């Protein structure tokens, strides 16, 4: 009787252990699933309203769990235009200002300029740009533009610090940002500077081309630019010259995988990519540097 009782106790204990283990595993699976679902919701939320409105892209977040970076490439390949819409949405929600080194070389008035290198300070609100030439300055050593800060006869003006000889006579001059001097100096005016403007301009012509049924905009894979991993996109348009409706024949856009902003854009007139129209590159980027307002004043430039 005693032996039989002990056997029953052992069997009950064994059953209890098995049931307890099964319950623990069920709880673990349930908690893991909830955690995964919560992680997916956080990832989807990070992309903002654009992702939620694009069901094809949003569905990728509901598939098997995977690291974010491979998903970036999947999103980029699945819908390049939608990907850039998400980049713009993310930028609007997260970027206030930044510091960088800006390099550009352009075909202006039929002549290729020298490669110019500038230190750039940028602020979104109010839209403010301060450029200081490091290499190959033209007629200016520094330029400061703040939206609506200086308006003359209805024209937006920028503060221009001239070269060393002219500075002997005047510390600065005011120049209209859409004047003849600006047109002769660059393909883009200073109020078109920055990551957000680049994203908007890319999307503008992609949407126009898509509406006309001629959009050719593709994800070309990963590349390394200035030691950083990027995603390369290529857009092709029927470019017919500076007076035509399209800005370029081929545009290569390199998006930094960590910062998620376009850090290099190469524009070409021809499909073979032999005729360069513009080279625009951002390096040494510090996003949300909390720039002091004084940076974007004449006093801060030391010209007042």
Mean pLDDT confidence for 78-101: 97
Residues 196, 92 contacting (CB under 8 angstroms): yes
| Cα–Cα distance for residue pair 139/142, rounded to 1 Å | 9
Both 183 and 112 in one domain: the answer is: yes
Can you give the pLDDT at residue 109? 87
pLDDT in tens, 167-187: 666 778 999 999 888 888 888
Q: Is the pLDDT of residue 148 over 50?
A: yes
| Cα–Cα distance for residue pair 247/209, rounded to 1 Å | 12
* DSSP secondary structure, 60-123, as one string: GGGSS---HHHHHHHHHHH-HHHHHHHHHHHHHHH--EEEEEEEEEEEETTEEPPPEEEEEEEE
Whether 88 maps to a domain, the answer reads no
% of the chain with per-residue pLDDT over 70: 75
| Cα–Cα distance for residue pair 145/299, rounded to 1 Å | 13
| Cα–Cα distance for residue pair 177/158, rounded to 1 Å | 6
Can you give the pLDDT at residue 164? 65
Whether 260 maps to a domain, the answer reads yes
Give bridge partners of residue 222 from the DSSP assignment.
231
Mean pLDDT confidence for 142-167: 89
Can you give the pLDDT at residue 3? 47
Mean pLDDT confidence for 13-20: 50
Whether 206 maps to a domain, the answer reads yes
Q: Is the pLDDT of residue 195 over 80?
A: yes
Both 24 and 97 in one domain: the answer is: no
Residues 286, 98 contacting (CB under 8 angstroms): yes
Can you give the pLDDT at residue 168? 60
Can you give the pLDDT at residue 167? 63
Whether 61 maps to a domain, the answer reads no
| pTM of the entire predicted model | 0.78
Q: Is the pLDDT of residue 124 over 80?
A: yes
Q: Which region among 27-36, 96-105, 204-213, 282-291 has the lowest average model confidence (pLDDT)?
A: 27-36
Among residues 241, 270, 248, 240, the alpha carbon closest in space to that of 202 is found at 248
- Structural domain for 162, as ranges: 93-301
Considering its fold, how many domains does the chain have in total? 2
């Amino acid at each position: 009787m005693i032996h039989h009782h002990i056997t029953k106790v052992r069997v009950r204990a064994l059953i209890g252990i098995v049931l307890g283990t099964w319950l623990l595993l069920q709880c673990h699976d349930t908690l893991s699933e909830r955690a995964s679902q919560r992680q997916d919701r956080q990832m989807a939320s990070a992309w903002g309203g654009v992702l939620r409105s694009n069901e094809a892209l949003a569905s990728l977040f509901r598939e098997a769990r995977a690291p974010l970076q491979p998903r970036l490439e999947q999103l980029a390949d699945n819908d390049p235009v939608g990907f850039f819409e998400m980049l713009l949405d993310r930028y609007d929600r997260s970027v206030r200002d930044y510091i960088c080194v800006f390099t550009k070389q352009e075909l202006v008035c039929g002549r290729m300029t020298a490669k110019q290198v500038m230190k750039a300070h940028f602020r979104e609100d109010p839209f403010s740009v301060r450029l200081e030439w490091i290499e190959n300055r033209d007629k200016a050593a520094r330029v400061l533009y703040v939206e609506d800060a200086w308006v003359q006869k209805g024209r937006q003006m920028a503060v221009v610090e001239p070269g060393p000889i002219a500075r002997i006579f005047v510390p600065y001059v005011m120049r209209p940002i859409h004047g003849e001097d600006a047109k002769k100096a660059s393909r883009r005016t200073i109020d078109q500077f920055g990551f957000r403007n680049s994203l908007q301009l890319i999307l503008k012509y992609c949407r126009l081309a898509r509406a006309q049924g001629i959009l050719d905009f593709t994800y070309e894979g990963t590349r390394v630019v200035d030691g950083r991993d990027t995603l390369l996109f290529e857009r092709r348009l029927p470019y017919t010259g500076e007076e035509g409706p399209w800005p370029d024949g081929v545009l290569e856009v390199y998006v930094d995988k960590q910062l998620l902003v376009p850090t290099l854009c190469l524009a070409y007139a021809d499909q073979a990519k032999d005729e360069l129209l513009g080279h625009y590159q951002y390096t040494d980027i510090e996003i949300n540097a909390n720039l002091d307002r004084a940076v974007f004043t004449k006093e801060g430039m030391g010209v007042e």
